[in-house]
């Protein structure tokens, strides 16, 4: 990518402020249930430490709305990071203030300091210049390795990048390389597989990929709006009435390149064990809703995707969190895992699905950014990337 990276910096004697995305999920007992976002940043931290620098890490967790919240403090993350790094991680209940700066200035080569949840301060999401200045005072060089927040113009993702030499981390570099290749130079044929609940979340991506890809496959709850655009019954499925016209236009524009479900799994409620039916896509009964693609559709999608050169996948095929509505997602995930295609999986629920199925390591690239990956594929300029120094 045309931005400087951590490889372009002489780290000897320097202090790095690294924006990471440790917004990890926790289980009911308060333990981290998936530490993949922490693991993904370890190469960047290692590169900087091995170069002779100390590291100050900043992240958010949850949505505290600019106020302190005991359940969103970062102590569990500091503990897990220390285990993964095999070295102590100092954790300070401060971010832009005097205590954080005092601790940062005592760091020695290879030391690691984790700041408190940045969203405890309203200046973070407001991109307040004073908050950004406070962060900049902690280091000599800024590194953005938080692709998942690169679409946000916050103080720690955009503001501070204008105050220090600013470079990309290794994860950011990898994310941009894989997603950029999908848009600029994919191995063809290129297929886009899009799912999830709402067309509105992916409308711009759909429009762009219909023009760019060789084939586009649509599943998930969003398929119901496409069915409605064809005048077909959808029962109580979520249909975005304001987007029916747009879906109809996409169906006409894409022609044979757009593949919609031919059968769907329906139920009267989203509940494990609820009675289900598999019906033709045009025969959803009154009072029932589309909750997964049907077995005929799943098999067809899996078979056709396996023969592609590149597949970019964003959005599950059904409500995968609630069996049996995970069957369609499982079928396409297994097909992609076994294929020779370059498989690029969007973040968010899609990444969660392949991780839950134990197939993440069989994909070419699993993005750490849900909203960021969507906006990147839409062709939007992501402020957290744009603000970094050009190569």
Cβ atoms of 155 and 124 within 8 Å: the answer is yes
Cβ atoms of 315 and 205 within 8 Å: the answer is no
Distance, CA of 232 to CA of 282 (rounded, Å): 5
**67 given a catalytic annotation:** no
Point out the catalytic residue in the list 198, 277, 356, 362: 198
Q: What share of the chain is helix, strand, coil (3-state, %, to 5)?
A: 40, 15, 40
Residue 142 tokens, joined: 């800024």
Residue 240 tokens, joined: 């975005």
The residue among 382, 246, 231, 225 whose CA lies nearest residue 290 is 225
What are φ and ψ of residue 168, in 5° steps? -90, 145
Residue 387 makes CB contacts below 8 A (sequence gap 6+) with 144, 157, 158, 161, 162, 166
Point out the catalytic residue in the list 3, 19, 37, 330: 37
Alpha helices in the chain (DSSP H): 36-50, 75-85, 98-105, 122-125, 129-136, 170-184, 203-212, 223-229, 244-254, 295-305, 327-338, 349-356, 370-378, 383-386
Burial class (CB in 10 A: 0-12, 13-18, 19+), 177: exposed
Q: Which helix (H) or strand (E) holds 264?
A: strand 263-267
**371 given a catalytic annotation:** yes
**200 given a catalytic annotation:** no
Point out the catalytic residue in the list 58, 348, 369, 384: 348
Point out the catalytic residue in the list 110, 282, 309, 371: 371
Distance, CA of 149 to CA of 71 (rounded, Å): 21
The residue among 137, 111, 117, 132 whose CA lies nearest residue 48 is 111
**221 given a catalytic annotation:** no
Residue numbers annotated as active site: 37, 198, 348, 371
């Amino acid at each position: 990518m045309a931005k400087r990276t951590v490889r372009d910096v002489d780290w000897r004697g320097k202090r790095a402020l690294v924006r990471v995305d440790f917004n990890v999920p926790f289980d009911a007992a308060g333990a981290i249930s998936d530490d993949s976002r922490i693991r993904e940043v370890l190469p960047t931290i290692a590169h900087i430490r091995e170069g002779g620098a100390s590291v100050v890490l900043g992240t958010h967790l949850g949505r505290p709305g600019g106020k302190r919240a005991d359940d969103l403090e970062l102590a569990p993350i500091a503990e897990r990071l220390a285990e993964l790094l095999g070295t102590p991680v100092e954790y300070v209940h401060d971010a832009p203030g005097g205590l954080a700066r005092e601790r940062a200035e005592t760091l020695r080569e290879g030391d690691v300091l984790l700041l408190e949840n940045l969203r405890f301060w309203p200046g973070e999401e407001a991109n307040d210049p004073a908050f950004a200045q406070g962060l900049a005072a902690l280091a000599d060089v800024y590194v953005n390795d938080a692709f998942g927040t690169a679409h946000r113009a916050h103080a720690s993702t955009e503001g501070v990048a204008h105050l220090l030499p600013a470079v990309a981390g290794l994860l950011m570099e990898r994310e941009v390389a894989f997603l950029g290749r999908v848009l600029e130079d994919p191995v063809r044929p290129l297929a886009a597989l899009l799912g999830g609940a709402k067309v509105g979340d992916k409308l711009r991506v759909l429009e762009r990929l219909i023009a760019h890809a060789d084939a586009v496959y649509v599943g998930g709850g969003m398929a119901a709006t496409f069915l409605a655009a064809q005048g077909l019954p959808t029962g109580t499925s979520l249909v975005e009435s304001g987007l029916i016209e747009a879906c109809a236009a996409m169906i006409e524009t894409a022609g044979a390149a757009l593949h919609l479900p031919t059968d769907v799994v329906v139920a009267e409620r989203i509940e494990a064990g609820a009675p289900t039916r598999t019906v033709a896509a045009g025969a959803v009964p009154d009072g029932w809703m589309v909750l997964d693609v049907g077995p005929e559709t799943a098999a067809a999608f899996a078979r056709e995707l396996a023969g592609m050169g590149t597949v970019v996948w964003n959005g599950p095929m059904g409500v995968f969190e609630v069996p049996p509505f995970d069957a369609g997602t499982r079928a396409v995930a297994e097909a992609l895992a076994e294929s020779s295609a370059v498989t690029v999986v969007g973040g968010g629920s899609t990444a969660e699905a392949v991780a839950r199925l134990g197939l993440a390591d069989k994909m070419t690239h699993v993005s750490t950014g849900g909203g960021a990956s969507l906006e990147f594929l839409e062709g939007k300029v992501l402020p957290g990337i744009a603000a970094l120094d050009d190569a």
